[in-house]
Amino acid sequence: MATNIKDVAREAGVSIATVSLVFNRKPGVGRETRERVLRVARDLDYRRALPRGDDVPKGRTVRFLKISRHGHTVNRDHDSFIADYIAGLDQQARLSKWTVEVNMFANVRAEETVQFLSTVSADGAIVLGTELGVDEVCAFGKAAIPVVILDTYYGHLPLDFVDMSNEAAAFTAISHLVAHGHREIGFVKGDVEVANFRLREQGFVDAMRHFGLQVNAESIVPVDATFDGAYRDMAKYLAGGAKLPPALFISNDIMAYGAMKAMKEAGIRVPDDVSVIGFDDLPLSAVMETPLTTISVSKRDMGRRAFDLLAARIAEGRDRPAEKVLIDGALIVRDSVRAK
């Protein structure tokens, strides 16, 4: 029977995680332990121990699947942060002498994408799950190769996920508004089913309750998740005589741009009349007429972490418990919030 990573861990007297760190040249393992693991791997003729003894396997390939189901969030407006995901993934892969190949899918059933993975050369895949529903994510659990789902989160599924901590970020946004004296706070949400939007809305509701503030149904405004759509829907909302609360948390920056354009045309000034916080910290947010206060999550860190998780899954196999990684965001303070 072929030697596996569990055999190396047992003989070296360390955990499987430690062996994975050693094989992938990650920090956190002392020199003596690292040398012992490599020595045991050579003695056992483990397939990952190369002649030089200190390298990870060469020639592995990771597929990054950029999937657009409806295009409301995976589109040209968000190419910058998707590029950051790929850059972080590629940076980490290069350290391990692995190759990243990008494949794009638009309006393709998840089952077909899973089937694609069985027809190409790849050791694992990182799937951009932004626009994937729970059933579509489930389909990737049947993939023939290890898979990590990036940029969405379904905690009950036995799969590996890397996502931003949406609920914690929403709490950060509401905390900032409360610290500036705001008690009436609304939420502008995307009108498409995206897990990150749903989690941000839940985080908004939880934060409001934490601070003893009332969540008014009329202050939760659904708009399209594109710039043009958010502008159109907010303009229609305001034209109907609706009155905005003095502060808004908006699901993402693109929606904030469209909503703020509609607000300006309606004579509503940001931040004099309404304070606004977005989410994503897209490049345009810093150079708008009113620079946008927003939540920034390092997409490169998320890409790097997704690679590390995939490498561990490849090394340890299906017996490894599923892991969910949530990365906190940081508030980027600009000019779109003022004190009451």
Q: What are the pLDDT digits (tens) for 201-256? A: 999 999 999 999 999 999 999 999 999 999 999 999 999 999 999 999 999 999 99
Q: In this structure, are 253 and 175 located in the same domain?
A: yes
Distance, CA of 309 to chain centre: 14
Predicted local distance difference test score (pLDDT) of residue 143: 94
Mean pLDDT of 181-196: 95
Q: How confident is the model at residue 313 (pLDDT cuts 50, 70, 90)?
A: very high
pLDDT at 194: 93
Residue 30 has a pLDDT of: 80
Please say if the pLDDT value at position 45 is more than 70.
Answer: no
Q: What is the pLDDT at residue 6?
A: 78
Residue 55 confidence (pLDDT) above 50: no
CA dihedral 240→243→249→250, nearest 10 degrees, is 10
**Domain co-membership, 226 together with 248:** yes
Residue 222 falls inside a structural domain? yes
Q: Which two tokens stand for residue 327?
A: 């990365």
Shared-domain flag, residues 184 and 290: yes
Verify that 279 and 181 share a domain, yes or no: yes
User: Does 271 map to a domain?
Assistant: yes
Residue 92 has pLDDT above 50, yes or no: yes
Inter-residue long-range contacts of 34-38, CB under 8 Å, 24+ positions, other chains counted: 36/12, 37/8, 37/12
Whether 234 maps to a domain, the answer reads: yes
Residues 142 and 183 in one domain: no
Tokens 């948390």 found at:
249
Full residue range of the structural domain in which residue 257 is found: 166-296
Residue 54: per-residue pLDDT: 40
In-domain check, residue 269: yes
Residue with tokens 């996502």: 163
Instruction: Answer with the residue of higher pLDDT: 264 or 318.
Output: 264
Note whether residue 276 is domain-resident: yes
- For range 36-64, the mean pLDDT: 63
| Residue type (1 letter), 158 | P
Do 23 and 108 lie in one domain? The reply is no
Q: Is the pLDDT of residue 179 over 60?
A: yes
Per-residue confidence at 48, pLDDT binned at 50, 70, 90?
very low
Share of the chain above pLDDT 70, in %: 92
Residue 335 lies in a domain: no
pLDDT at position 228, please? 96
Q: Is the same domain home to 160 and 305?
A: yes
First to last CA, the chain: 70
Highest-scoring range by mean pLDDT, 17-21, 190-194, 291-295:
291-295
Judging by beta carbons within 10 Å of its beta carbon (0-12, 13-18, 19+), is residue 71 exposed, middle or buried?
A: middle
Residue 272 and residue 187 share a domain: yes
| Per-residue CA distances from 194 to 130, 154, 179, 285 (Å) | 7, 11, 29, 22
In a domain, 339, yes or no: no
Higher-pLDDT residue of 9, 261: 261
Least confident of 146-155, 300-309, 317-326: 317-326
The model's confidence at residue 59, banded by pLDDT at 50, 70 and 90, is low
- 160 and 307 in a single domain? The answer is yes
pLDDT tops 50 at residue 53: no
pLDDT above 80 for 21: no
- Write out pLDDT tens, residues 211-222: 999 999 999 999
Average pLDDT over residues 102-114: 90
**Which is it for strands 294-296 and 247-250: parallel, antiparallel or unpaired?**
unpaired
CA 340 – CA 337 distance, rounded (Å): 9
> Which of the pair, 323 or 78, is modelled with greater confidence?
323
Question: Both 135 and 151 in a single domain?
Answer: yes
The per-residue pLDDT of the chain, averaged, comes to 89
The answer to whether residue 76 sits within a structural domain is yes
pLDDT of residue 27: 64
Q: Residue 242's domain is classified under what CATH number?
A: 3.40.50.2300
Which H or E run includes 23? helix 16-23
Tally of domains in the chain: 3
Residue 140 contacts by C-beta under 8 Å, 6 or more apart in sequence? 110, 113, 114, 127, 147, 149, 159
> Contact, 322 vs 158, CB < 8 A?
yes
CB contact burial 156-185 (16+ within 10 A = b; e otherwise): ebebbbbbbbbbbbbbbbbebbbeeebeeb
pLDDT at 51: 35
The verdict on 84 and 233 lying in the same domain is no
**Residue 151 shares a structural domain with residue 229:** no
